[in-house]
Chain A
Amino acid sequence: MSQKEQIFKEIFQANSKKIYRLCFGYTNDEDSANDLMQETFLKVWQNLDKFRNQAMISTWIYRIAVNTCLTYLKTEKRQAKDELTPNIIENKAEETSEKQEQIKTLYNCIAQLEENERLLITLVMDEVPYPEIAEISGISEGNLRVKIHRIKHKLTELFNKHERL
C-alpha cells in the first residue's frame, strides 16, 4: 500500500461515518447518502496533497461534503422531502425496534428542514465545535449561533409533532 493510500485509509476511517450521517441527514435516503459520501471522498483523494499540511482536515472534508450535498440533483432533493407525509411513513414502517423507529423519525424530521438547516443541525449533533461549523459554512459565528438556536427549536417541534402522530 502506498503512503498516499495509507493516509487516505486513515482519513476515511476517521471521517466516513460522520460524513455519511451528514449526507443521510440531507437526503434521507440510503443510496443517495452513499453516493454523496463517495463523491466527497473521491474529491478528498484527488486533493489529498493539499490537505497534508492542514491542521483541521475534518473542516475541509465537511466543507466538500456540504458543497457536494448542496449541488446534488434537484430531483433527488425533492424526493427526500416527499417521503415525509405521515401516510408514507406509516406504509414504510417496518418491524424495527423503538430505538430504530425514533432514529428514522429523527431523519424524517431533519429532511423537513431547509437545506442549510439540515446540514448545520447534523454538524451540531455530531458535536462539531461552533467555530469549525462557522468555518465550514462561511457563516459568521454570531449569525450561526442565532441560526442554530432556531433550527434546534424547529427540529424539536417537528419531532414532537411526529411522535404524536
Chain B
Amino acid sequence: MKDFDSILNIWNEQADNTPKVDYKELISRYKKSRNKFSAKIWIELIWMVLAACTIGYLWATLSFNTWTTHIAMFIFELCCFYYIYTQIKNLKTLNNDSLLETPEKHIDYIEGFRKERFQQNTRNYYVYTVALALALGLYFIEFFNHVNTITLVLAVAFSVTWFALCTFFIRVVYIRKEERRFNELIAELERLKKQFANQEN
C-alpha cells in the first residue's frame, strides 16, 4: 500500500519524460501557419470584395429594362456584404484571447462561438441561399427576354433542380449531421464547465 507522498516520489523521478519539441521549431511553425491562415482569409475576402464591386459596376453602368433586375442586383450585393461581414466577424472571434481567461469563462466562450457557428451554418446559410435563388430568379425575368425558349426552359429547369436538391436533400442531411455534432459538443462543454464551477461538489 502506498500513500500520496510515495506517489509524489514516483512523479518526481520521471526525469526522461520530456517534450520532443524545440523552441525554434515552434517559432518557425507559428510564422508559417500565421501566414498561411491570413493568406486564406485575405484571398476569400478579396474575391468577395471583387465580386461585390463587379456587381456594383454592372448595376451602375448597364441599363436594365425591368425593375426586378434592380432588386436582384440589390440582393446580390447584400449577399456579398453578408459574406464579407461573416468572414471578418469569424476572424475577429478566432483571434480572441479567451485562452487567457479562467477555464469556466473559456468554455463559456467556446460554447458561444460554437452556437454562433451552428446558426451560421444552418439557419443563416439557408437564408443566404434562398436570397441568392430569389435574386437569380428575379434576374432571369430580364434575361429570358433575350433568349430563345429552349435556353429559357433549360435555365429554369436547372435552377429549380439545383435549388430543390440543396433544400430538400443536401441541407437536410447536413443539418442533421451538424445538429448531432453540435449537441454532442455542447453537452461535453457543459460537463467540463460544471467541473470548474465554483461550488463544492
- B105 contact from A16, A45, A138, Cβ within 8 A: A138
**Would you call B21 and A160 a contact (CB within 8 A)?**
no
Residues from chain B with a CB closer than 8 A to the CB of A50 are 97, 100
Q: Complex: how many Å from CA A12 to CA B24?
A: 10
Q: Complex: how many Å from CA A115 to CA B194?
A: 11
Q: Complex: how many Å from CA A160 to CA B98?
A: 39
Q: Complex: how many Å from CA A89 to CA B101?
A: 37
User: B145 within 8 Å of A by Cβ?
Assistant: no
**Would you call A70 and B7 a contact (CB within 8 A)?**
no
User: A111 within 8 Å of B by Cβ?
Assistant: no
Q: Complex: how many Å from CA A115 to CA B106?
A: 15
**Would you call A146 and B23 a contact (CB within 8 A)?**
no
User: B190 within 8 Å of A by Cβ?
Assistant: no
With A47-B97, A67-B106, A156-B4 known as contacts, the answer to whether A140 contacts B198 (CB < 8 A) is yes
Residues from chain A with a CB closer than 8 A to the CB of B26 are 12, 38, 41-42, 45
Bitwise, A64-91 to B at CB < 8 A (1) or not (0) is 1011101100100000000000000000
Residues from chain B with a CB closer than 8 A to the CB of A156 are 2-4, 7
User: B14 within 8 Å of A by Cβ?
Assistant: yes
With A116-B192, A155-B4, A163-B2 known as contacts, the answer to whether A74 contacts B99 (CB < 8 A) is no
CB distance from A76 to the nearest CB of B (A): 12
- B17 contact from A24, A38, A116, Cβ within 8 A: A24
- A139 contact from B8, B12, B98, B198, Cβ within 8 A: B198
Residues from chain B with a CB closer than 8 A to the CB of A68 are 99
With A70-B192, A103-B10, A156-B3 known as contacts, the answer to whether A137 contacts B21 (CB < 8 A) is no
Of residues 3 through 19 on chain B, the ones whose CB sits less than 8 Å from some CB of chain A are 3-4, 7-8, 10-14, 17-19
Residues from chain A with a CB closer than 8 A to the CB of B178 are none
Residues from chain B with a CB closer than 8 A to the CB of A60 are 100
CB distance from A133 to the nearest CB of B (A): 12
Interface of A is mostly: helix
Question: Which residue of B27, B101, B107, B199 has the most chain A CB atoms within 10 A of its CB atom?
Answer: B27
**Would you call A106 and B103 a contact (CB within 8 A)?**
no
Q: Complex: how many Å from CA A43 to CA B196?
A: 22
Residues from chain B with a CB closer than 8 A to the CB of A45 are 26-27, 30
Residues from chain A with a CB closer than 8 A to the CB of B21 are 16, 34, 37-38, 41
Residues from chain A with a CB closer than 8 A to the CB of B110 are 71
Residues from chain A with a CB closer than 8 A to the CB of B185 are 74
Q: Complex: how many Å from CA A163 to CA B12?
A: 18
Would you list 10 pairs from A and B whose C-beta atoms are within 8 A, ordered by A residue? A9-B23, A17-B19, A21-B17, A42-B30, A63-B101, A103-B17, A116-B195, A116-B196, A140-B198, A156-B7
Which residues of A approach B to under 8 Å, CB–CB? 5, 8-9, 12-13, 16-17, 19-21, 24, 30, 33-34, 37-38, 41-43, 45-47, 50, 60, 63-64, 66-68, 70-71, 74, 99, 102-103, 106, 114-117, 125, 137-140, 143, 146, 152-153, 155-156, 159-160, 163
Known contacts A42-B26, A67-B101, A160-B1; 14 further A-B pairs (Cβ under 8 A): A19-B19, A20-B17, A20-B19, A34-B19, A50-B97, A60-B100, A74-B185, A74-B188, A103-B11, A125-B12, A137-B103, A137-B196, A143-B198, A153-B4
